[in-house]
Amino acid sequence: MKRDLAALQAREHDVLVIGGGIAGAWTVWEAASRGLAAALIELDDFGQASSWSSLKTAHGGLRHLQRLDIAGFRESMRERRALLRVAPEIVRPLTFAIPVNGFLDRLRFFLGGIVNDVLSIDRNDYLPADRAIGISRVVGRAEAASLWTKALPEGRAFLWQDAQITHTERLLLSLLHAAAEESAVIVNHCRIESSVSTTTGFEIKATDVAKEGSLVVRARSIVNASGAQIEAVSGVFGETCGSPPLIRGVNVVLGSDLSPSLAVGARDQDRYLFLAPWLGRSILGTLYDDGTASLESLVHDLLEAGRRAFPLAKIQDDQVKVVHAGHVPGGPDGEPIYRSRLIAHQNPRLLSILTAKYTTARVTAQAAIDQVGRVLSRALPPSVSSHRRLVMARPLSGTLVDRLRSAEEDEMALSRSDAVRGRLPEGALGEAVAPEAFRVA
């Protein structure tokens, strides 16, 4: 996968995807795998904004049941299954637990677990046994005690399984690799400046941010998957997304694993927080605000909430290794929206993606390319993205120096700091990288 500016300008692309987060990565792979001449451009580096700040969980839709959104539940369950199928080396089942108190609480969770299991009866279709999602259940004090961690208090608990994406950066890069193998053109550090309509689509003027050169990119259709920049990008094309509200979410990575066997949820005031094990550490999250306060203030509030929700864990400020923060579409209640959607524009050749969840980015990308096919009057083959194995969905191998070199030479990392943050788990884990690793040619 090479950064080829000449190839970006050499042809008129069937579809140009703007944005190199998880939504854009799925979209360009979906387009390329279905025979479209596709390209993707990213203003910064791949997956550096909200996609970098994921809680690493592929949700099966249990929260949709609380809102009686059966369609949303089924969609999330299918997408969790797809992730377990296409990226089994980095997506695995993870058990979750919530303390249960009192008879009515036990009855509510017991019945909810039955509904969850019945509505997801096909959750393990086509999955290997070691990636199968287990049943939900309420466990008594004795069994709950055997699962005890510093985050789970004594008493009964409700257990269910979802999935964890252990290396979200590798999932995103594997999609870009797969798209490039199908002749998609992928370019980072590229800023769009202006656009004019042509008889066949768009002619876009852009800037190579890395080398300060000017580019002209031609495309028959555009998919705007630029996340928090969705309104700004639509404005370049003389359109609007209606200025969807954005809220800021924050997670923190703690230096020790406070819940090694399972993820634990607990209520703090009117919200649930989760403490999840991840690569020998714990992630605490997610807390949301409107983005007006300082990030330091939001992190402080998250840690205070974590201490109230998980008093046995004794979370300390100095345990924080790194902060993951990003903006997501929000609703009037100050919570993130739970269903992604496509935004149509006056020009049907422009389509925008309002991304809600990491889990459902694939199915939204599929819907976007279905629409592109209709606009271009192209009979596209069926989607393969829900079941075709992503060959590169695995951690890079070798020494740190080897992996840094591979990120630079094969994955468009223009600096070693970009390589660490966007392609190696050390960045997301907040691990220090010795300066000598950056000096190796």
Fill in the DSSP letter of residue 191.
Answer: E
Mean per-residue pLDDT for 304-312? Answer: 93
**203 and 260 fall within a common domain:** no
Amino acid at 51: S
Q: What is the pLDDT of residues 237-276, one digit of tens each?
A: 999 999 989 999 999 999 999 888 899 999 898 888 999 9
pLDDT at 441 over 50: no
- State the pTM of this model: 0.95
Of the candidate ranges 109-118, 196-205, 255-264, 340-349, the one whose mean pLDDT is the lowest: 255-264
pLDDT at position 434, please? 62
Mean per-residue pLDDT for 204-229? Answer: 95
Higher confidence at residue 192 or residue 431?
192
Of the pLDDT bands very low, low, confident and very high (cuts 50, 70, 90), residue 77 is very high
**352 and 228 fall within a common domain:** yes
Q: Strand 222-224 relative to strand 57-58: parallel, antiparallel, unpaired?
A: unpaired
**237 and 354 fall within a common domain:** yes
pLDDT at position 140, please? 87
**121 and 80 fall within a common domain:** yes
**Backbone dihedral region for residue 298 (phi beyond 0: left; psi -120 to 50: alpha; all else: beta):** alpha
What is the Cα–Cα distance from 106 to 26, expressed in whole angstroms? 39
Kindly give, in sequence order, each residue whose CB lies less than 8 Å from that of residue 365, ignoring residues fewer than 6 positions away: 23, 26, 27, 29, 30, 225, 353, 385
Whether residue 69 lies inside any domain: the answer is no
Peptide bond into 200 cis (omega under 30): no
**18 and 132 fall within a common domain:** no
8 Å CB contact between 94 and 57: yes
**98 and 121 fall within a common domain:** yes
Structural domains of the chain, count: 4
What is the Cα–Cα distance from 58 to 238, expressed in whole angstroms? 35
Domain span at 354: 5-51+169-244+337-375
What is the Cα–Cα distance from 41 to 25, expressed in whole angstroms? 10
Kindly give, in sequence order, each residue whose CB lies less than 8 Å from that of residue 310, ignoring residues fewer than 6 positions away: 150, 151, 258, 264, 266, 273, 275
The residues with which 94 forms a beta bridge, in sequence order, are 162
The residues with which 157 forms a beta bridge, in sequence order, are 99, 139
What is the Cα–Cα distance from 419 to 413, expressed in whole angstroms? 5
